[in-house]
Structure 1
Amino acid sequence: LFVAYHVERIFGLTLLHNHFSLEEGEILLETGSLFDSQQEIVSQPVKVDKLASPAQGFNWRIINNSYVPYEFRPKNKDLVIATIKIEFSSPDIQSFLEEFSQKLNELDLTRIFGICTINEEDFIKPGIEYTNGRKNITIPLADSTDIFDKVIEALWIF
């Protein structure tokens, strides 16, 4: 489906999962790492009314035939992923999103899979997520790591 609609460099299939419970009015916001030398991405709960700048969803689940974001990034003026500006209102993107939703509903998979925007780095090196308190941390998965058999894949790109 992703390849048929030519969105394989824009969207990925994601396994829905929780890191920790969010309180009323909180979202999980990707905030980046504290130091450029760290190759980790930190996501943490932020109160919506305390956001310093707008946020945009990058992981969505389907609830009642609607896409509902559950993980967010700070919003840029234009959402650019893999050097492609995503026009969510374009007929091609809308057709893909409609058929994707329809397929997940038909197969009763809306509680298992969702969709996410991807970036060029997702094609270069996979990451591994872990939770530390109320922070979700993603680090590059080293080629020499011996834990490949112990991790659960949660993102598929085509």
Structure 2
Amino acid sequence: MLLDIPHDVVFNRLPLDTISFPKIHQNPVPTEALLAIRTIFQKHAVDHELGLALTHRHFALQPGEQLVEYENVATPWLTSTLNPVLKARLVPKTWAYVEGELYAYEFSFVPAASTSDMKPYEFKQEFLAEFREALLKYGLEETFGLARFPDTGPCDGVPMMEFTAGRANVTIPVSDGVEGAGPFHPDATWMFPCIWDQSVDGDGKPTMRWCGKAAH
């Protein structure tokens, strides 16, 4: 992985939601591709640590900014002038392929009490090689990246949805009271261990987050 491109430059190269969402609707991922990718995740025992993330952004970052999530709210932080003590607690959580290289484009702020999540995720190189090979085979390298799960695991039984208001991404539990609040239809992150019947057809596609714009 290369690290010499500024985070804001990497982020701004990602497709906007207005491009990636219609694309995934018009060209659904073949079941064959999901099965192949799931097999790779399970083979390398990363299916309880990583998920398949739809590569997209809702807004642009300014020079020196990074998108940082804390307590289910992700906002741009001007990290170029951030205190080094705080900056050291920013850990990559979402990655995308840009020009053939895997880059982190979203980060988590990890409090001092959460020592287990402080270390950056160490990818297995064999997994990355097979994962990218599968993405290239099915023409999905510009569509999908990777997302890291919290230590609590990916399947806590509570579906989540993410909405964007201005330059903030907010993740909240799905409930009857908010399901109709906006177009939260695109699957943003898929979790393979949450397919209890080991099927990826129809509703069997596992979703960690639904993603969309807030209604105005």
- Using structure 1 for the length normalisation, give the TM-score: 0.77
Q: Does 1:96 align with 2:127?
A: yes
C-alpha contact 2:66 2:77 (8 A) present in aligned 1: yes
Q: Which residue of 1 is the match for residue 45 of structure 2? A: 6
- Runs of at least 4 residues off by over 4 Å: 75-79, 143-147
Q: How does 1:46-57 map to 2 (within 5 A)?
A: 46-52=77-83, 53=86, 54=88, 55-57=90-92
Question: CA-atom RMSD, angstroms?
Answer: 2.8
Between the aligned residues of both structures, percent identity stands at: 30
Unaligned runs of 5+ in 2: 1-39, 193-216
Q: How does 1:76-115 map to 2 (within 5 A)?
A: 80=117, 88=122, 93-115=124-146
Equivalent residue for 1:154, pick from 188, 205, 211:
188
C-alpha contact 2:162 2:184 (8 A) present in aligned 1: no
Q: Say if 1:101 and 1:78 are closer, same or farther in 2 by CA, change over 3 A.
A: farther
- Secondary structure of the structure 2 residue equivalent to 1:96: helix
Q: How does 1:33-48 map to 2 (within 5 A)?
A: 41-48=72-79
Greater share of helix: 2
CA–CA distance in 2 between the matches of 1:102 and 1:153?
22
Q: Which residue of 2 is the match for residue 35 of structure 1? A: none
The number of residue pairs the alignment matches comes to 144
- Secondary structure of the structure 2 residue equivalent to 1:122: coil
Equivalent residue for 1:137, pick from 170, 191, 197:
170
Q: Say if 1:86 and 1:142 are closer, same or farther in 2 by CA, change over 3 A.
A: same
Q: Which residue of 2 is the match for residue 67 of structure 1? A: 102
Q: Say if 1:116 and 1:150 are closer, same or farther in 2 by CA, change over 3 A.
A: closer
Q: Which residue of 2 is the match for residue 36 of structure 1? A: none
Counterpart code for 1:74: F
Greater share of strand: 1
Deviation of 1:18 after TM superposition, in Å, equals 0.9
Query: In the TM superposition, what whole-angstrom CA distance separates every residue of 1:23-51 from its partner, at most 9, and x where no partner exists?
Result: 1111100122xxxxxxxx11100112133
Deviation of 1:13 after TM superposition, in Å, equals 0.3
Deviation of 1:111 after TM superposition, in Å, equals 1.3
Deviation of 1:107 after TM superposition, in Å, equals 2.4
